[in-house]
A and B are shown apart, each in its own frame.
Chain A
Amino acid sequence: MRRRTLLAGALAAAPVAAGAATGCTAGGAASAQGAGGRVTISYGMWDPLQVAGMEKIIKAFEAEHPKISVKIQVTPFTSYWTTLKTAMRGGSAPDVFWMNAVNLRLYASEGVLEPLDPYIERDGFDMGVHPPELLRMYTHGGTRYAMPKDFDTIGLWYNKELFDKAGINYPDESWTWDTVRDAAAELTDPRSGVHGIAAEMSRQYTYYNTIAQAGGYVLRDGRSGFADPRTIDGLRFWTDLIDRGRSPSQSAMTDTRGRQLYLSERVAMNYDLSAMASQMYAEPAIKDHGGVAVLPKGRERATTIHGLAAAISGKSPNTEAAWQFVKFLGSRKAAEIQAREGVTISSYEGTQKTWIESMPEFDLKVFTDMLDYAVPYPASKHTAVWENLQPQLLGGPFTGKGGIEEAARTLARQMDLALEQEK
């Protein structure tokens, strides 16, 4: 059984599937009665919105591999990592599970993930079909530990109706930070309770992007970049907008998030994730007159890229079956099913078009256009430790209390201490 499926995988699956499909529906039914040599592997994930699409992918996979069946285990994100860690200790972790950049280094360095390199080389699987930034994110110490499945970049979402009312042109590639500032000023209308922009204190959506655009950095060679004057420029871009009243303060946006403000048309611009497109699409008003553009340029062009990947538990007794599944997840076929579902952008090169075309009202191409200058989401071994410091120390300035320089420098000192502890 293995020989045959290995071949199928090496050919990147697409043409094989059609032929295999007929023979397999019957096979699947028969083996449900527990035929010998059949293995069941579990697949841990956290997003309930993706379950339907995943089930379709699993069906296609099981059709090709009649002796492997896959069971989904959904754990809400808030408890996903603690549950997974505990399950790892107890030996009951899923065979294959979702991994993110924040946790990869910790899991990889503790040796609880199955290294994928031997399998990739044996099967000659071409990893080059996934964006290099993503592959780098899931490589630790020169070894690849997870198979990318999708990616996210950040775009500038805007409300055409509010722009029309203020008589401003819609955002496009020509926009810079100054254009954003001017437009935000024009768009802010205290009488109708509308703000120009939502300057939310968010790593991935807001300030990691502007830090890179300002030429600063969050983490480089194991040192914090928060004391760098350029990094501070990237932060100040947001706090200035709050100080000038162009955005609700972070206090207001804790009670009602920036995304909700955008969806309820109370802010004209919002930096948000590509994966949120389907949620925006579901909102009639936003579907009608919402738009999206590439992120405006600071000193440089940049957007944060992050994506999920599938990793194999080092303690799994069925690593070979797990690899077959992971390989399938990284294939064009799985990527296309995922893209058709419209939930998120598949990372497999060339399958993004399906996703872009799934919501023709939005110019979703901007998200893939930005891949050329995408900056990977920064992470170290214990990323959560220094990430936790950020809302605590930046909170004051983001509520309009000022003092962003000082807060950023304190953050840098604390973050360096945390990074030192990692060694």
Chain B
Amino acid sequence: MAVFPSTAAAGQAERRSHGTGAGTGTGTRRGAGANGGRGGRPRSQRAAYLFIAPIALGFLVFYIWPLLETFWFSFTTFGAFGGNSWVGGENYERVVRDVTVGKALGNTLLYMVMGLMTLPVAIVLADLMNRRGLRGVPVYRTLYFMPFVTMPAAVGLVWNWLYNGDFGMVNEALSWIGVDGRYWISDPSTAVYAIGVVMIWSHVGYYLIIFTAGIKAIPRDYYEAAEIDGAGPVRRFFRITLPLLSPSIFFASVICVINSLQQFDLIFVMMSPENPALGETQSIVTLFFKWAFDENSQGAAAALAFLLMLLIAALTYVQFRLQKRWVHYA
């Protein structure tokens, strides 16, 4: 993930949100207050800093430094074979002026929306999988998780075959129910959604695991009490599961927004350069790649990456502000 400078922001947010959500309910805020070490001795404090040091150093070297460097690069232009010179705001001007940027930004936001649709799917699946008496849960869990640990390049290639307009399995399956298939990933009107489906498919397992853990942490008593009061499964889901799962949902949505805004590998693998739908599927990060490595304008690419980081930071900030309204820490 740390290939792109913009992941600096991602890393930051991920770290923060891990604290808030991962424990599903046992927020770090409280944790931090409890062993906050106000009365700690200098010696134990030194030990604490020693323990923090490796990660802090890594953070400085691999996240903060590249971040600053990217910012600096965004005001320079690179020679094709090394050396860079100051050009001021010219790169940002290009970002604003280039039509492909607007298009890529729109696509990226579309990927974000599609990415967020993974969450309800994962919640429903997690709820179903936690039904008492269901057998073979580990098998299902493995099946759902497998795509997530598979290399995106492999996922992309396999789906390219499935989507093939002439001999693909998707069209074959559709023909059984009398639907005429199309060229899913080379038709400009469907390509972006076709990629979205693969994105959801390959990430649902990850969120499923998070939500399963979250649901497991909800005390059984609540459900029993609700059952005695006559609440059906639907009502129990909306009144107990969802609210008590909200810290996990919050964590998942932060991660999900960050991940889908950085959508790159699937597009890169699935869309060949002569694909007529290329422009309709380009994301900010694929555009970044193209500028930096195909077109030799690393400076403008750095500006683009920096703007993406700002966008991610802003959206993450908004999510943290909004959490007070809907996240319940039990």
Contacts and interface: CB of A to CB of B under 8 A. Distances in A.
Contact of A252 (B99, B183, B294, B296): B183
A254 interface: yes
A88 interface: yes
A17 interface: no
B4 to A, nearest CB: 16
Contacts of A88: 81
Interface in A319-377: none
B100 A392 contact: yes
B276 A250 contact: yes
Contact of B275 (A106, A249, A395, A421): A395
B19 interface: no
A14 to B, nearest CB: 37
Candidate in B81, B97, B272, B295 with the most chain A CB atoms within 10 angstroms: B81
A255 B295 contact: no
Given A251-B183, A414-B99, A421-B94, A391 B188 contact: no
User: At the interface, is chain B mostly helix, strand, loop or mixed?
Assistant: loop
Interface string B151-182: 00000000000001110000000000000001
Nearest to A414: B99
B277 interface: yes
A255 B188 CA distance: 14
B222 interface: no
Contact of B273 (A110, A391, A399): A391
A392 B279 contact: yes
A202 B294 contact: no
A71 interface: no
A110 B81 contact: yes
B80 interface: yes
Interface in B271-311: 272-280, 282, 290, 293-297
B81 A85 contact: yes
A147 interface: no
A21 interface: no
B79 interface: yes
Contacts of A399: 186-188, 276-277
Nearest to A393: B279
Interface stretch (A43-51, A150-158, A381-389): A381-389
B127 to A, nearest CB: 39
Contacts of B182: 251
Interface in A254-274: 254-256
A273 to B, nearest CB: 15
Contact of A82 (B79, B99, B274, B293): B293
Contacts of A280: none
A254 B80 contact: no
Contacts of B297: 385, 421
Interface in A387-423: 388-389, 391-396, 398-399, 401, 410, 414, 417, 421
Interface residues of A, number: 36
Nearest to B191: A251
Nearest to A109: B80
B269 to A, nearest CB: 12
A251 B187 CA distance: 6
A112 interface: yes
B82 interface: yes
B278 A392 contact: yes
Contact of A110 (B80, B99, B187): B80
A110 B94 CA distance: 23
Interface string A188-229: 000000000000111000000000000000000000000000
Contacts of B277: 251, 254, 395, 399
Interface string A99-130: 00000001100101000000000000000000
A274 B309 CA distance: 47
Contacts of A414: 99
Contact of B294 (A112, A200, A249, A384): A384
A250 B275 CA distance: 8
Interface string A223-242: 00000000000000000000
Contacts of A256: 166
A396 B278 CA distance: 10
A417 B295 CA distance: 14
Given A251-B165, A254-B183, A414-B99, A384 B276 contact: no
Top 4 closest pairs, chain A to chain B, by CB = A395-B276, A254-B186, A392-B279, A251-B183
7 contacts: A85-B81, A200-B274, A382-B296, A389-B100, A391-B275, A396-B188, A410-B99
Interface of A: 82, 85, 88-89, 106-107, 110, 112, 200-202, 249-252, 254-256, 382, 384-385, 388-389, 391-396, 398-399, 401, 410, 414, 417, 421
